[in-house]
Amino acid sequence: MKKITLIALCLPIFVNAQPARYILNGKLTKQNGPAKIYLNKVVNEALVVDSAEVKNGGFRFEGTIDGPMRAMLILDTKGSGMNFMELPPDADTRIFYLEKGDIKVTINGRVSNARIFSPINDEEDYFKKSMKSVLKSIRQLSKEYNRASAAKKEDKGFQQQLALRYQVSREAQKLLQHKYIAENPNSFYSLMALEELAGLDVNPDMIEPIFLKLSEEVRNTPEGKAFAAEIARARNLTVGSDAPDFEVPDMNGKMVRLSDFKGKTVFLDFWASWCEPCRREHRKILEAYKQFKDKNFTIISVALDPPADRKYLLQAIKEDSMVWTNLADPKTDRNHAARVYGVKAIPQNFLIDSTGMIFNKDLTGESLYQQLNSLLNKQNE
């Protein structure tokens, strides 16, 4: 599953509090030539990018925020520009928290190793110490994989061994995160740990009780309120819930609603032309469409391509033989359907039965065929 880069900044921050001023002063040592620092944050679901030239090793950002919020520093020493929606794997980045008052940043070579000083960011050291043992084991696994030869990386036994050890480490990390949250309900990093525990597919029955044990101060931060909204959205998207309606234009500009298809079984497919796993799935989806289209079944594919990539989207629809309903907002890649369904990674899909209920979700390949075979044959008995 391919993550949208904005997810690194986690949840959107909604403006609903008294603005407070922040001043970030930074120092970059070992500067070899021109350098530029970017400060990215998400406000009201929009990416806001600020930049500063590094002069004599120093840089500065200032502005207003409505409460503690997650942000990202990015160091650019190449000067070739960046696609902030999809940063390369080797991008030099550092996620931290913006908060009111003074924030000091010291970068020794790479921004990923930056030291950041402010009340909330000072908690980071304590949080990292609580995770130190398990993070060390995860880094060791990464080193083992990177040092392995190309042939060894292809070895199934080697892959399975690393996967098993990684799973053990991740489970240990989850236990430590639960422990940290229980012992530090007033810490903003407890909210961060809970967001990581929740993952992309939030289980509201598991996550909400933990969230409610966080202090009122943490829950009432903009990010806390946004996460509460995310939990509520996830609850509305559980299997057995009524599928939320939405309105997105088709490729000819005609507005289309999910409710227009009431009475049909609908496979709701979120994708993008640049998403290779999505494109591979379309081959299997096409076979399902051919087999079940005469059984009151249809597909709605909602594209998350940026407006500038419209020609690539149209080309992909043609190449993938997507002969069903295709939707895409020509003004934004974050369309109404993607917002309503809380899409943070693609491919993502929902199988909606003829009554408008979410019957299942995140189906692939054979599992999609089996679900359609069971659902549609039962309806047509």
Orientation of helix 188-198 relative to helix 119-147, angle to 10°: 40
Beta-sheet strands, E only, within 150-231: none
- The pTM score is 0.73
- Residue that the structure tokens 């909330």 belong to: 120
Residue 110: the pLDDT is: 87
* Averaged pLDDT of the chain: 88
What is the token pair recorded at 112? Answer: 């990923």
Q: How confident is the model at residue 6 (pLDDT cuts 50, 70, 90)?
A: very low
Q: Are 338 and 350 in contact (CB under 8 A)?
A: no
pLDDT at position 296: 92
Residue 157 reports pLDDT greater than 70: yes
The pLDDT of residue 239 is 92
Closest CA to 103 of 64, 67, 72, 62: 62
Q: What is the pLDDT of residue 193?
A: 93
Could you list the beta-strand ranges (E) of 67-196: 69-76, 92-98, 101-108, 115-117
Q: 264: how many CB neighbours lie within 10 A of its CB?
A: 15
- Burial (CB count within 10 angstroms: exposed 0-12, middle 13-18, buried 19+), residue 39: buried
Whole-number pLDDT of residue 1: 35
Using the structure block, give the residue that is written with the tokens 């989850």: 174
pLDDT in tens, 164-196: 999 999 999 999 999 999 999 999 899 989 999
pLDDT confidence of residue 12: 40
Which amino acid would we find at residue 311? K
Domains and CATH numbers, the chain: 2-117 (2.60.40.1120), 121-236 (no CATH), 247-379 (3.40.30.10)
Q: Which of 260, 254, 376, 271 is nearest to 322 (CA)?
A: 271
Whole-number percent of the chain with pLDDT over 70 = 92
Instruction: Name the β-bridge partners of 117.
Output: 104
pLDDT, residue 270, reads: 97
- CA torsion sign for 211, 212, 213, 217 is positive
For residue 265, give both structure tokens: 């079984």
Per residue in 261-275, pLDDT (tens digit) is 999 999 999 999 999
Task: For residue 379, name the pLDDT band (cuts at 50, 70, 90).
Answer: low
CA angle 173, 179, 183 (to 5 degrees): 145
The yes-or-no verdict on residue 314 having pLDDT over 90 is: yes
Q: What is the pLDDT averaged over residues 329-346? A: 90
Q: How many Cα atoms sit within 13 Å of 240 on the Cβ side? A: 1
Q: How confident is the model at residue 70 (pLDDT cuts 50, 70, 90)?
A: confident
Is-cis flag, bond preceding 277, omega within 30? Answer: no
> Which pLDDT band, with edges at 50, 70 and 90, does 18 fall under?
low
Please provide residue 88's backbone torsions phi and psi, each rounded to the nearest 5 degrees. -70, 160
Closest CA to 10 of 196, 214, 216: 196
* Confidence (pLDDT) at 62: 94
pLDDT tens figures, 101-117: 999 999 988 888 899 99
- Mean pLDDT along residues 342-365: 92
> What is the pLDDT averaged over residues 37-44?
86
Identify the pLDDT of residue 10. 43
Q: What is the mean pLDDT of residues 275-303?
A: 94
pLDDT at 5 over 50: no
Higher local confidence (pLDDT), 360 or 377: 360
User: Cα–Cα distance between 139 and 145 in angstroms, integer?
Assistant: 10
d(CA 307, CA 336): 14
Q: Is the pLDDT of residue 333 over 90?
A: no
Confidence band, pLDDT 50/70/90 cuts, at residue 86: low
Is the pLDDT confidence value at 7 over 50? no
Residue position matching structure tokens 């359907």: 337
Q: Mean pLDDT check: name the lowest of 73-82, 287-296, 316-325.
A: 73-82
On whether the CB atoms of residues 20 and 64 are closer than 8 A, the answer is yes
Residues 24 and 51: their CA atoms lie apart, in Å, by: 12
Q: The tokens of 56 are what?
A: 């004599």
